[in-house]
């Protein structure tokens, strides 16, 4: 199924049965956290402690 049609069905379902206030608050908090993380990475930079090193993978692929 086309993703846009799937999103249309989901939006129609949300329109008919809107989510609870608590679920809306949780979704807004998660979205705000994601936006804050993107803004920190974009304008301040990513901290060195959170950067992965250039180490070889632990699993040897054959």
pTM: 0.60
Q: How far apart are CA 60 and CA 62, in angstroms?
A: 6
Find the domain containing 32 and state its range. 20-46
Number of domains, the chain: 1
Give residue 13's pLDDT band: very low, low, confident or very high (50, 70, 90). very high
Residue 6 in domain:
no
R_g of the chain, CA atoms, integer Å: 19
Residue 55 in domain:
no
Residue 3 in domain:
no
Residue 36 in domain:
yes
- Could you report the per-residue pLDDT of 29-51, keeping only the tens digit for each? 999 999 999 998 899 888 788 77
Residue 1 in domain:
no
Residue 41 in domain:
yes
Residue 24 in domain:
yes
Q: Residue 21: its pLDDT value, please?
A: 96
6-10, 18-22, 42-46, 58-62: segment of lowest average pLDDT: 58-62
**Side-chain half-sphere of 34: how many Cα atoms within 13 Å?**
6
Q: Tell me the average pLDDT of the chain.
A: 88
Instruction: Please list, in sequence order, all residues whose beta carbon lies within 8 angstroms of the beta carbon of residue 27, skipping any fewer than 6 positions away.
Output: 19
């Amino acid at each position: 199924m086309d993703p846009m049609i799937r999103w249309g069905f989901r939006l129609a379902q949300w329109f008919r049965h809107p989510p609870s206030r608590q679920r809306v608050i949780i979704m807004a908090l998660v979205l705000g956290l994601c936006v804050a993380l993107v803004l920190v990475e974009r304008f301040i930079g990513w901290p060195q402690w959170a950067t992965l090193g250039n180490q070889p993978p632990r699993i040897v692929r054959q």
